[in-house]
A and B are shown apart, each in its own frame.
Chain A
Amino acid sequence: MGTKPYPEKRNHTLAMVLVIVVLSAGLVYLFLTVDFIPNAGARERVLIDDFLRIQLAIGSVLFITILTVLAYAVIFCRRRPGDDTETHAVRGNLALELTWTIIPLIIVVALSIHAANVLDEMGATEHALHGQGQNDTQTYYSLGAFVPGEAGSSASAEEELVIDVTAARYLWSFAYPGYGIDAVYELRVPVGRRIVLNLHSTDVIHSFYVQEWGPKQDAVPGLSPVLRITPTRIGEYMVQCSQLCGAGHTAMTAPVHVVSAADFDSWIQQQATSGNVTPPPAETHVVIELVARDVAFDKDTITVPAGVHLMIDFDNQDVGMPHNFALYTTPAATEPIFVGQIIDGPQRIIYPHFAAPPPGEYFFRCDVHPAQMTGTFVVQ
């Protein structure tokens, strides 16, 4: 029952195949040549970019095929007015169904194998588990092409630069244990050398991410995940926290400087002489500690240099009492410069950074206790 379909299959099939081939070839060429993911700045990013192109190229062939067949059908296979019959019922075709099950299976397996190899080449991360208060670590290596063993590495262990990264709302701090540097707030690394980032978080989950470098890795309280990167381009970049960590998540960033080996060495020297306590003048992020206790601040004057980004490390030690830090132009407190989130004590928070206002005298206070908790804020 049911009548034959309208168009003659064989004439149009050829045209359709041609359209598919041409459009797919075009898209594949685009994906494989155009640099549509900008600013690769690390070895790992290049590996990711190249593989992404291949995946998108394969996907686009499939997409064009389906789209073309459907478009063709919609254009040429319309029911003629007045024709109330069914099409003759083709229930299925085992050969075709097997084909479209097996071919994707093969593609998927091939992609997996290649992906495992790329992952191995990246030597992406190693996960170290720390037990509570103990030092025994169990280390797992990415398996690569199912061969257990060390992740592929393009640098020997000696050449690796180990950096401890600590994330705390909303501040990134970096320590260089190999060079005795405890805490700086900007990441400075030499180009071409493999860096090993040990990620720590003291409060909630954060995530380390530099767009030009490629991969992300979460910093998880209680764990010490590791991210290995080999930067390949000198320049200024930015760490962006990539796991929602609260109201200040958007602004939780830190500058990254990829410099020449010589510049890096001289920076290390500088750190050694200045005693690792305060960042050298070239730094642009300054942390100010402020304590609230017994409904009072521990400082009534805060002085900062001009032209820096300020982060207030605010420690509310009053149990059950809400406080905050808010900066205004004048004691009338009509024009806010920065208003920090109100937190209940006991709690400590590092407010997201904000640009220091132009040199002058300003006014800060706690918005919950505007009469008792006030101070002068001087920018020199």
Chain B
Amino acid sequence: MNKAPLKAFAGLAGLAAGGGLTMLVRLALGMPVWKTSPVLVVGIAAGLFAWLAATVGFRKLLSLDAARGALCGLAGTGVAIGITMLVRLAIGLPAWNASPVLTVGIFTGVVVYLITLGVFNYWARWAVGRPDGADRPKKPGWARYFDVDTDHKVIGVQYFVTGLAFLPFAVILQLVGRTHMVDPDLGILASGSYESVIGTHGIVMMFIVVLPVFFGLVNYFVPLQIGARDLAFPRLNAFTFWLVPPAGLLAAFSLMAGGFTTGWTAYPPLSSSFEVQGMDLVLIGVYLAGLSSILTAVNVLATIFKKRAPGMGFFRMPIFVWGTLATTSLSLVFTQFIGMSFLMVLLERTLGMGFFVPAMGGQVLLYQYLFWFYSHPAVYIFVLIGLGLISDIIPVFVRKPLFGYKGVAVSSMGIAWGGTIVFAHHMFAAGLPGWMRVPFMITTLLVAVPTGVKVFAWTATTWMGKIELKTPLLFVFAAVILFLIGGLTGIPQGIVPTDLYLHDSYWIVGHFHALFFGGFLLPAMAAIYYWFPKVRGRMLSEKLGRIQWFLMVPGMFLMVVPMLGLGLEGMRRRISDYEFILNLQPLHIATAVGGFLVFAGLVVLGYNLVVSNRRGETAGKNPWEASTLEWMISSPPPEHNFDEIPHVHDRPHLEQHAHVGGEPEQKSGEKEGDKA
């Protein structure tokens, strides 16, 4: 039977029903019936769901944990909002007040979603002493990834794909912003909308792309690289992933709720004011993402401490694992501070609390201290894993072990923990007590030392190697250069007098984009080309990889360098118009072109992933002839990872790193020019 007409009809019916329902609700609430974004978004979502149900089968669709959870979560949100409004009426308040009603509704909805999703089932059964059900039969194929699953490899893919799915959304947001800035008089974005667009871009990129992409890699590969069969707490792991999709949807939907004109930093008093209508969704979304990253940190740290293969001392772990150790040690403790500072803003909005209100005895700057106490270590959370990837990938493709391995390993922790006492450098112009600025300047500059250790080590490793310019290495070299630019442009910001000029200018924007490109995006691209063969058993196309590189990397330079120039010219950041300052349009045009090139590169990547998944050259166990443990098992790995846990003898990047079974053949030996 030809299902196409049925599917199309279902889709259209869903669209009409969703859109119509939204309009009815708006009418009932006394709002203007038509507003493009809510009506369209609900309509399209309903249409998609109906089309999926027609394609896959309604029952089968609902058998997916994710679908069940999402539907019940949405229903729960609606019901909770309704009840809250009734309660408000009963106690004499006006029924609708966006902040408290939405907040109660969303929190309830998220709890309902989690329960109906089934993430608590394992623990509920454990509590009443029944078998926990983690070994129930798994659905075949892609359906498994929409279920609650405890296998770290499945969870790794879930995190990674979620992050990659939100990446185009965040990039397109910024492309709209950049296009607007090419000629603000065209009015592509109204003032107020531009700030919302860039703020959402920032939040989604940091919390819904960077963290899930990196934690996806960590989930999949840390257990493999240390010779474990899974993370320490697989059931907890299943739970922490499913916090991320609602976090992402909330952050994305904040635009629909009115946006937020505070930038991602959400400073009060502005963020507490009702003018900023979409703020609540962002605060809750980030809170959920933060909770996920704290629990991931608990899990990953316990795994690294307790589940390493025999012989794998700390100084025999790959630097990817060291980077993860450093990242999760920060993530474990500091994330609580953004959780608390965002929660305090939410409490000010919903309950009228006054932490940051001078008239109520509060202090405005308190927020900034709490916020930056997390958000500075956060930037190291965002890049340390990428730096670890660079340290591990270079040796494979220059056929030479990492130079100064111990120094690089220790520098990961040095950067991470050195970076905990620098946070007030974001506040040099904020009204700090004068005596605070010089000490924080000193600590900020000191972090350059362990960072330099890494860059020098990479260079020394490459020097006199036997280089094979495969795609992973191409991306890694671009990462090193961009990261270096990012780091060096940080020096004028760490130094107080120059920061007082550069603060809140485009120099800052150029600086951190260089660091995100060099510390996250490019290493993530390298990791994709490096590890796709292991995950899917197929090689990605080298030719497409090079095309992607030649689009993305020049695009990144075209974005970063003009931004640095705009900053030197004194252009403020987060403004939607620059008619006051002349001769800046060429730089904005360059930045926009660069952005489009990066996006084009991502499109090529998407095509490469889809095509190679089906028709890529088969990859064996170890196509790159690397030495770390994940290359000792089949591609894709079996469910239990290792038939036999390997013994580890020496550092990674050496042939004698580890072997499986029998007597060890050689000692971790002396070689020419060898120093421990």
> Does B464 contact A74, Cβ atoms closer than 8 Å?
no
Are B364 and A88 within 8 A (Cβ)?
no
Name the contact of A87 in the complex, choosing from B362, B398, B453, B455 (C-beta under 8 A): B398
A220 CA to B431 CA in the complex, in Å? 7
Complex Cα–Cα for A251 and B578 (A): 9
B438: CB under 8 A from chain A?
A: yes
Write the nearest CB–CB distance from B342 to chain A, whole angstroms.
17
Which residue of A105, A111, A132 is within 8 Å of B361 (Cβ)?
A: A132
> Is A91 a contact partner of B496 (Cβ separation < 8 A)?
no
Which residues of chain A (285-341) have a CB below 8 Å from chain B? 320, 341
In chain B, residues 328-365, which have Cβ atoms closer than 8 Å to a Cβ of chain A? 358, 361-365
Q: Report Cα–Cα, A72/B441, bound state, in Å.
A: 35
Which residues of B are found within 8 Å of A18, using beta-carbon distances? none
Shortest beta-carbon distance from A13 to chain B in Å: 10
State whether A341 touches B192 (Cβ < 8 A): yes
Q: In whole angstroms, what is the CA distance A73 to B294 when docked? A: 41
Q: Is B164 an interface residue (CB 8 A)?
A: no
CB atoms of B275 and A37 under 8 A apart: no
Q: Name B431's contact: one of A88, A115, A217 (CB within 8 Å).
A: A217
Contact of B432 among A5, A62, A127, A203 (CB under 8 A): A127
- Taken together as a complex, chains A and B put the C-alpha atoms of A247 and B574 apart, in Å, by 11
Q: How far is the CA of A115 from the CA of B671 in the complex (A)?
A: 46
Interface residues of A in 81-135 (CB under 8 A from B): 83, 85-94, 96-97, 100-101, 104-105, 108, 111-112, 115-116, 118-119, 122, 124-127, 129, 132
Once A37-B569, A142-B438, A209-B572 are accepted as A-B contacts, the answer to whether A92 and B407 lie under 8 Å apart by CB is yes
Contacts known (A205-B269, A220-B431); A87 close to B399, Cβ less than 8 A: yes
Q: Is B456 an interface residue (CB 8 A)?
A: yes
Q: Which of A55, A80, A251 contacts B492 (CB 8 A)?
A: A55
B77 CB within 8 Å of chain A:
no
A132 B405 Cβ-Cβ under 8 A: no
When the two chains form the complex, which single residue of B430, B500, B569 contacts A124, counting CB atoms closer than 8 Å? B500
Is the pair B364, A249 in contact by a Cβ cutoff of 8 Å? no
- Interface contact B434-A246, CB-CB below 8 Å: no
List residues of chain B with CB within 8 A of the CB of A72: 463
B403 and A92 contacting across the interface, CB-CB below 8 Å:
yes
Residue of A nearest to B446 (CB): A108
Residues of A within 8 A of B361 (CB): 132
B467 and A47: CB pair below 8 A?
no
Nearest CB in chain B: distance from A251 CB, A: 7
Q: Are B358 and A132 in contact (CB under 8 A)?
A: yes
Q: B358 contacts which chain A residues (CB < 8 A)?
A: 132, 221-222
Given known pairs A92-B403, A207-B429, the reply for A74 and B572 (CB within 8 Å) is no
Knowing A37-B568, A111-B491, A246-B261 are in contact, say whether A5-B465 is a contact too (CB < 8 A): yes
Residue of A nearest to B397 (CB): A79
CB contact under 8 A between A118 and B674, given known A73-B467, A83-B466, A247-B275:
no
Asked whether, in the complex, the Cβ of A207 is within 8 Å of the Cβ of B673, the reply is no
Q: Which of A25-74 contact B (CB under 8 A)?
A: 36-38, 45, 47-48, 51-52, 55-56, 58-60, 62-63, 66-67, 69-70, 72-74
- Among listed B110-118, B478-486, B628-636, interface-contacting one: B478-486
Give Cα A204 to B268, complex, Å.
Answer: 7
Checking B362, B433, B463, B498 against A140 with a beta-carbon cut-off of 8 angstroms, the contacting residue is: B433
8 Å CB contact of A211 from B94, B398, B406, B570:
B570
Distance A79 CA – B466 CA, assembled complex (angstroms): 4
A56 to chain B, nearest CB (A): 7
Task: Say yes or no for B400: interface residue by CB 8 A criterion.
Answer: yes
A216 to chain B, nearest CB (A): 5
Interface residues in A193-248 (C-beta closer than 8 Å to B): 203-205, 207, 209, 211, 214-218, 220-223, 225, 238, 240, 242-248
Q: Could you tell me which residues of chain B, from 47 to 64, have a CB within 8 Å of some CB in chain A?
A: none
Contact A221 B269 (CB under 8 A): yes
- B261 & A244 in contact (Cβ 8 Å cutoff): yes
Asked if A87 and B464 make an inter-chain contact with CB atoms under 8 angstroms apart, the answer reads yes
Beta-carbon contacts under 8 Å, A1-17 to B: 1-2, 5-7, 9
The verdict on B75 contacting chain A, using a C-beta distance below 8 Å, is no
Structural contact, B365 and A220, CB atoms closer than 8 A: yes
Given A90-B400, A217-B431, A220-B431: A78 and B466 within 8 A (CB)? yes
Say yes or no for A250: interface residue by CB 8 A criterion: yes
* Residues B453 and A101 in contact, CB atoms below 8 Å apart: yes
| CB of A344 closer than 8 Å to a CB of B | yes
- Chain B residues with CB under 8 Å of A69's CB are 459, 462-463
> Residues of B within 8 Å of A, CB-based: how many?
96
Within the assembled complex, what's the spacing in Å between the Cα atoms of A325 and B192? 17
- The answer to whether B462 and A77 touch across the interface, beta carbons within 8 angstroms, is yes
Residue of chain A at shortest CB distance from B456: A100
- Please tell me if A253 contacts chain B, counting CB pairs below 8 Å: yes
Q: Which residues of A contact B399 (CB under 8 A)?
A: 79, 85-87
Residues in B with CB closer than 8 Å to A247 are 191-192, 195, 261, 275
Is the C-beta of A343 less than 8 angstroms from some C-beta in chain B? Answer: yes
Give A238 to B430 CA distance when docked, in angstroms: 21
**In the bound complex, what is the Cα–Cα distance between A13 and B365 (angstroms)?**
53
Q: In the bound complex, do residue B407 and residue A97 qualify as a contact, i.e. CB atoms below 8 Å apart?
A: yes
The answer for the CA separation of A327 and B441 in the assembled complex, in Å, is 49
Q: Main secondary structure on chain B at its contact with chain A? A: loop
Q: How far is the CB of B222 from chain A (nearest CB, A)?
A: 24
For A89, the chain B residues whose CB sits under 8 A away are 400-401, 654, 671, 673-674
CB B623 to nearest CB in A, in angstroms, measures: 14
Q: How far is the CB of B255 from chain A (nearest CB, A)?
A: 15
Do the beta carbons of A91 and B195 come within 8 Å of each other?
no
> How far apart sit A56 and B485, CA to CA, in the bound complex (Å)?
11
B435 within 8 A of A: yes
Q: With both chains docked as a complex, state the minimum distance between the C-beta of B261 and any C-beta of chain A, in angstroms.
A: 5
B146 interface residue (CB < 8 Å to A): no
Name the A residues within 8 Å of B675 (CB-CB).
Answer: 91-94
A119 near B401 (CB under 8 angstroms)?
A: no
The reply to whether A344 and B274 contact each other, CB–CB distance below 8 Å, is yes
Q: How far is the CA of A140 from the CA of B655 in the complex (A)?
A: 60
Is A141 interfacial (CB 8 A cutoff)? yes
Do A242 and B477 have beta carbons less than 8 Å apart? no
A162 close to B (CB within 8 Å)? no
Any B CB within 8 A of the CB of A256: no
| Given A1-B671, A132-B361: A91 and B191 interface contact (C-beta under 8 Å) | no
- Let me know if B534 is at the binding interface, CB within 8 A: no
B448 in the interface (beta carbon within 8 A): yes
How far, in angstroms, from A70 to B675 measured CA to CA in the complex?
Answer: 23
Nearest A residue to B414 by beta-carbon distance? Answer: A101
A18 to chain B, nearest CB (A): 17
Q: Let me know if B45 is at the binding interface, CB within 8 A.
A: no
B467 and A74 form a contact (CB under 8 A): yes
Q: Which residues of B contact A320 (CB under 8 A)?
A: 94
**Can you report 30 A-B residue pairs in the complex whose CB atoms are below 8 A from each other?**
A7-B464, A38-B570, A55-B492, A55-B495, A66-B480, A73-B465, A88-B673, A91-B401, A92-B404, A93-B460, A97-B456, A100-B452, A104-B448, A105-B449, A108-B446, A111-B445, A112-B445, A112-B495, A115-B496, A129-B433, A143-B435, A151-B434, A205-B270, A215-B497, A216-B500, A222-B362, A240-B580, A242-B504, A244-B262, A244-B263
Q: A residues touching B (Cβ–Cβ < 8 Å)?
A: 1-2, 5-7, 9, 36-38, 45, 47-48, 51-52, 55-56, 58-60, 62-63, 66-67, 69-70, 72-74, 77-80, 83, 85-94, 96-97, 100-101, 104-105, 108, 111-112, 115-116, 118-119, 122, 124-127, 129, 132, 140-143, 146, 148, 151, 203-205, 207, 209, 211, 214-218, 220-223, 225, 238, 240, 242-251, 253, 320, 341, 343-344
Closest 10 CB pairs between A and B?
A222-B358, A247-B192, A215-B500, A211-B570, A59-B488, A79-B466, A250-B575, A142-B434, A5-B464, A140-B434
Residue numbers of B with Cβ under 8 A of A are 94, 191-192, 195, 261-263, 267-270, 273-276, 358, 361-365, 398-401, 403-407, 429-435, 437-438, 441-442, 445-446, 448-449, 452-453, 455-457, 459-460, 462-469, 477, 480-481, 484-485, 488-489, 491-492, 495-498, 500-501, 503-504, 568-570, 572, 574-577, 580-581, 651, 654-655, 671-676
